[in-house]
Structure 1
Amino acid sequence: MNIGSFKSTNGQLLGSIATAHIDLPRLGLRPVESDSDKAPAFEIMALNVARRWVQIGALWEQTSNSSGEVFYQGRFDDPQPHRPGSSHAFPHRRRNRNLQRRMEPPAAPPREPRRQPSGTTRTPHHR
């Protein structure tokens, strides 16, 4: 499902994300400079209510095994903790990226132990 997009504006990647539970109209992708191969390629930054940029996630560069196409995969903070999801940014037109989200199914509630009906007792079997 498409949840947002980013485009290059004056050399910066700016965009937005919107779902049923969040609306982030001002986002930026800040490149990460690192020698570590485990470091993300971008930090996902959001403009908060105090008009400060805060990091809400990160994207790592990946390459498709089938096509060789480069895309970015990562996570961002979502106030819906029972439905975590991973995000993927794919090329769309020149220098633009669409952000898609794969939702993980909600976790099943824990199973309660089976109870014996009242008035019955369980006797162990002896051989």
Structure 2
Amino acid sequence: MSNSGKSYRWKGRIVSKKVYLQRMKQTQLGHELRDLSKKRKLDESVVRENLEEPVHYHNVEESQILEGYRIVNLKFLGQQLWCTSCKETLSFDYVESERRIGLASVLLGRCHKCLIIN
């Protein structure tokens, strides 16, 4: 490197003017990309809030017979085993069908009190 007056440093190291300008440009592009990503996330959340159509799942499998084993989160399952209309406790005895979406299972059961499917 010639001693033409000014030396350029990047993270404590002496670098050439070309390398310094290249890294400054990369830094600037990184900041712009980060800002664009934040803006895009905000735009996507607004779109999701305004979306009125339900999401359609392509790999949905419904079955009437419950067979096999499931790995469940007992705390979440316990919170969801209540009727949405009459707040009565639901039972696995009244499960009518199961909707399998990938590895997830959604159980559809009828309330024994108000007969609404939850």
TM-score category by the smaller chain? Answer: under 0.3
More strand by share: 1
Q: TM-score, normalised by structure 1?
A: 0.21
More helix by share: 2
Q: TM-score, normalised by structure 2?
A: 0.23
- Bigger Rg over Cα: 2
